[in-house]
Structure 1
Amino acid sequence: MRGDPDILVVGGGPAGVAAATAAAESGLSVILSEMRASLGGAIHRQPAPGSKPIAPLPSLRGRWQSLRSALTASGAEVATRRSFIGIDSTGAVMIDNRVTGQLEIYRPRALILACGALEVVRPRPGWQLPGVVTAGGLQVMLKEGCVPKGRILIAGSGPLLLALATQLTAAGQPPVAVVEGGNPIARPLVALGLLASPSILPDVATLMQPMLMRRFPWWRSTEVETIEQSGDGLAACLRLPNGRIRRIEIDRIALHDGLRSNDFGLPTDGARDGLIVLRVGDVREVLGAHAAEEDGRRAGIEAAMRIKGQAPPAAVSAIIVRERRLQAKLAAIFQPPDRTAAVLNCPDETVICRCENRTLGELKAQLSGRDTMSARELRLNGRFGMGACQGRFCLPSTLSIMAALQPDTIKAEATEVAGQRWPLRPVSLSALADADVAPDRQSAMPS
C-alpha cells in the first residue's frame, strides 16, 4: 500500500499529466491515477502493442511526447488501472485497484480531478441498437489500433465528425458519408473568424482535404431520423434539407451531438473535510487539448501553493481566453437546429434512458397527471436516471423534454436532480471489507 501523497491527480489525459507534472515540480509528493493501462486520455490515446498509430492533427504533433517526458522528469508517481470510486464522508479518496482487486484509500492534502469530457448523443429511434456507437468511442477504437470494418455512417454535429472521417480514411476505411445537422458553409462570415486563430488553420486544412478530394460525401443540414435493424446490419433514415427521406444501409453508425464536462458526481472546487479539491481541463470547461494542458499546469501550481499556505495567482491565462474564444467560434459555425421538437415528435417507444430502458411514452405518461411534477419526482417515480450512469447521459434530454411538456416546471440542472453521485462501478464486498480505513472511520461510506 502506497503512502498518502500530498496531491492525488485523477485522470491521465493532457490536463491530468500537466497537473501532476507541475505539482511534482514544486517538490511535493504526487500520485497520478489513471483507469486505463496507459496514459494519454481520449485525445492522446496510445495504440495497442504492434498497432500503427493514427497521425494526430498538426496542432497536436509532438505534444504527447513533450508532456510524457516532462512527467517522467518531474518524479510524479504513476498508478494505472485505477478507477476513481468517490470520496467518502470523511474526505478519504477511494480508488479501485483493477490489478489486485483491492480498494485503495488515500488521504491526500489536495485532489485534482481531470476526468475529461462526456460525449453527448441525443435520443433517436433505434439509437440503443447493436452497431450504434458514439463517434468518440469509435475514434478511441481507431487510435488503439482497431480499424472497424464494413459500411460506417458518421452523424450528428461538430468538427469531431470530420476528424473521425479523416482518420478512418487515412486508415483505409472511409465512411459511407458524414451527416452534419448544421451547415457550416452557410456561415462564411463566422468561419472567417477562424483567421484570428492561425494555429487551428493547419487542422482545418487536414480535416477538409479528404472531403474536398471526394473520399467521402459531407451531407449538411441533414438529420438521422431513425435507425432500424436491417438484416445483419442497420438502416438509417435521413431527413434531407428539402424534407425528403433517404434510407441508407450500413453496418455501423457513429453518433455525436457535442461534448460537455464529465462532472456528474464530482465535488465542486474548494475544501472538503480539509481536502483541497480542484477540477481541471475539460471536466471544468470543455475547451480542447491546449487549454486542458494549460489548465492542468495552473491547477498543479495552485494546489501546491495552497498546501504551502500561499495565495495562488488570480489572473486567467491568455491561452484559456484564446481557446475559449476559439471554441465559441466553432460552436457558432457548427450550430445545429434546436432538436427538442424532433425528440418530442419521436415515436413513444423511443428509448430515452438506456440504463433503465425507459421510453418517451413512459416519460409523457408520467407528466400527464393533473398536478405539475418536479424533476426529482419524475426521476424517483419513473426511474429516469436511476441506472448505473446515474443520469449523466439521459437526464439532460429528459429535463429538456419535461420543460417542453410541462412549461410551469421549475428549471433544474441534471446534477441537482441526480445528486452528487459518481456513476456506479462494481466493487467487491471483500475489497470494501479489506480497505485500509482507520478504526474510527469504519462506518464511512461513499457519498
Structure 2
Amino acid sequence: MTERQVSRCDVLVIGGGAAGVAAAVELAGAGLSVELAEQRAALGGAYHRQPAGRASKVHARGRRQWSRLVDALERNGVAPRLRHVFLGVDSNGLAMLDDRAGSRVVAVRPRALVIAVGAVERVLPRPGWQLPGIMTAGGLQMILKEGGSPPPGDILIAGNGPLTVALASDLARLGRPPVALVEAGDPFARPAAAMRLASHPGLAVEAAGHLAHVLAGRVPWLRGTRLTAIEPRDGRLAATLRDRRGNARTIAADIVALHDGIRPNDFGLPAASGDEPVVIRAGDCREALGIRAAVADGRHAARQVIARLAPGRPARVDGTVARQRGAQSILGDLFRPVDGADPLAALPDETVLCRCEGRTAGELRAMLAEGDLSPREIRLNGRFGMGLCQGRFCADNVLHLVAASRPGGPVEPALRLGRDRWPARPVSIAALAADDEPRGS
C-alpha cells in the first residue's frame, strides 16, 4: 500500500455509538480533522441501534440526545465510514479498516486514535449453554431494537444484573412476557443499596418503570436463584434452576437468554504507547458505566486528545463519569448474587468452556493436573481460545479456573491466555488480496 493510497487525519474515532459520536463532535468542533469508522451499516451502537422499518418502543429512551449528537456530527462535516471494521494498527502507525461494502482493506494515518467500541456481555458457562436456542440477553435485546418483535416461542431470561430486568420489561411491553426471570441476586433483600439509588433519580425512575412492566406482565421473578443446566427435552429446552435454599426445579422454554454482567470490550487492544498514533479509549470500552456516562466519557477522551495534540490546552474533567461510577457501584450491590460460591468451581467435567473448539472443563482440569502449565501452553496445546473468536468469550472463564487451581499462585488479572496484539478482528483473505484504489491524502 503506497502513501497515495492512505488517508490522513488528525483523529480516527472507532465506534459509532454514543461515546464515539460525542468524541467526534468534540474533536471536530475544536478544528481537528476527524474520521469516524463504524462496523455496522448505521450509527447507534448497542443502545441507540436503529430499528428496521418501524420505530421500536424499546428504542425510545434517549432519542432526543442522540438526535442532537448526530445533527452536530453532520454540522461539523464528519461523514462516517459505515461498514468499516477496525482491524488494528500496523508497525508504521497505519490504522487498518476492513471496508466490508468494498471488500478491501483501507488504511488511515491518524495522529490520534479514539477507540469507543463499547462493552461485551459476560455469560458464565453452564452444562448445555452451547445448545441451539440459547442466546445472550444483549443479543435478544438487539433483535427487539432492530426488528421490533421477539422471535417466536416461550422465552426464559436467566443470569445476573439489571439488564435482565430491562429485557423482561421490553418483552412485557411488546406483549410477550418471558415465562420467568431468573436472578442470582435479590435486590429486594438489600434495602440500603435501594435507598442509595434514590441519589440517582433518573436511574431510579427507569428502574421503577422496568419493574412496573415486569409486574404488569405477571412475570415470575425468581430471585436468589441460579440456572445451573440446560438440556433438550421434547423439542424444547429444559432449564434446571436452584434457589438459595438448594431446592431445584425445571422450567421449559423455546429460547433461553443468558446474561451475567458486562465488561469493557478491550479484547486484543495493546496498551497505549507514547508514539503516534496516540491511543485513547472512551465509553464502555474503557470502563463499563452505561449509556449515561458514555457521552461525557467520549467528550473527555476527545479533550485528552486535544490536550495531547495541542499542548497547553488541559483536558477539562466532567463529573458525570464519576457520578455514574457510583451508580454502577450501587447496582452492583443491589444485584450481588445471594450465593457467594464460585459458580465455575462445581462445573461438571462435560461442560463446554470453549464453544468454538468444543473444549470442556474436564479437558482443562486434566491438563492442569499434569503440571504447572503456562496460559500459552493451555492455548496452544489445549486449543482453548484458538477458535474463531480467539478467546473473546472463553478466555476469562478459562483463566478463572486456571487461577483457582493454583492456591497462592497468580491471581486472575495477572494471567493472559494470549497476548494482546493487532489486528483486533479477523480479516478476510479476499479483502487483503483486493487492489486498493488510490485515495486522496
Tell me which interval the TM-score lies in, with the shorter structure as reference length: over 0.9
Q: How does 1:374-413 map to 2 (within 5 A)?
A: 374-413=374-413
Q: Secondary structure at the match of 2:7?
A: coil
43, 50, 63: which one aligns with 2:47: 43
Identity %: 46
Match of 1:191 in 2: 194
Match of 2:287 among 280, 285, 288: 285
Map of 1:233-312 to 2, 5 A cutoff?
233-272=236-275, 274-312=276-314
RMSD: 2.1
- Tell me if the contact between 1:270 and 1:278 (Cα under 8 Å) persists in the aligned partners: no
- Give the drift of 1:214: 4.7
- Contact 1:195–1:201 (CA<8 Å) still a contact in 2? yes
1:201-246 Cα deviation digits (max 9, x unpaired): 2201211102233531111011111111123221111112332211
2:71 is matched with which residue: 69, 72, 76?
Answer: 69
What is residue 234 of structure 2 aligned with on the other side? 231
Are the equivalent residues in 1 in contact too, given 2:7–2:107 (CA < 8 A)? no
SS at match of 1:148: coil
Counterpart for residue 329 of structure 2:
328
Deviations 1:352-374 (A, max 9, x none): 111211100100100112x3222
Contact 2:264/2:288 (<8 A) preserved: yes
| Aligned partner of 1:93 among 92, 95, 107 | 95
CA contact (8 A) 2:59 2:145 kept: no
Which deviates the most, 414-423 or 98-107? 414-423
1:31 aligns with 2:35: yes
Q: Equivalent residue of 2:388, what SS?
A: coil
Q: Give the partner amino acid of 1:34.
A: E
Q: Secondary structure at the match of 2:416?
A: helix
Counterpart pick for 1:17 among 16, 21, 28: 21
Superposition deviation, residue 94 in structure 1: 0.5
The one-letter code of the counterpart of 1:399 is L
Which sections of structure 2, spanning at least 5 residues, go unmatched? none
| Mapped contact 2:6–2:109 kept (Cα < 8 A) | no
Distance in 2 separating the partners of 1:121 and 1:3: 39
The answer as to whether partners of 1:93 and 1:107 remain within 8 angstroms in 2 is yes
Quote the Cα distance in structure 2 between the aligned partners of 1:415 and 1:290: 32
Partner residue, 1:443 = none
Aligned equivalents of 2:427 and 2:415: distance in 1?
Answer: 22
State the alpha-carbon separation in 1 of the partners of residues 19 and 90 from structure 2: 24
Give the alignment partner of residue 172 of structure 2, picking from 169, 188, 192. Answer: 169
Please tell me whether residue 106 in structure 1 is matched to residue 108 in structure 2.
Answer: yes
Secondary structure, aligned partner of 2:98: strand
Secondary structure of 2:152's counterpart equals: coil
- The structure-2 alpha-carbon separation of the partners of 1:414 and 1:99, relative to structure 1 and needing over 3 Å to count, comes to farther
Deviation at 1:388, TM superposition (A): 2.2
Q: CA deviation at 1:430?
A: 5.6
CA contact (8 A) 1:5 1:107 kept: yes
- Structure 2 residue matching 1:367: 3-state secondary structure: helix
CA gap 1:25/1:167 in 2 versus in 1, 3 angstroms: same
Deviations 1:321-346 (A, max 9, x none): 11010000000110115676432322
Partner of 1:221: 224
Number of the residue aligned with 1:353: 354
Query: Once the 2 structures are TM-superposed, how far is the Cα of residue 160 of structure 1 from its aligned partner?
Result: 0.3
Paired letter, 1:209: A
| Secondary structure, counterpart of 1:417 in structure 2 | coil
Q: SS of the residue aligned with 1:84?
A: strand
CA distance in 2, matches of 1:276, 1:89: 14
Q: Distance in 1 between matches of 2:202 and 2:177?
A: 27
Amino acid at match of 1:185: F
Length-normalised TM-score, structure 2: 0.93
Matched, 1:158 2:158: no
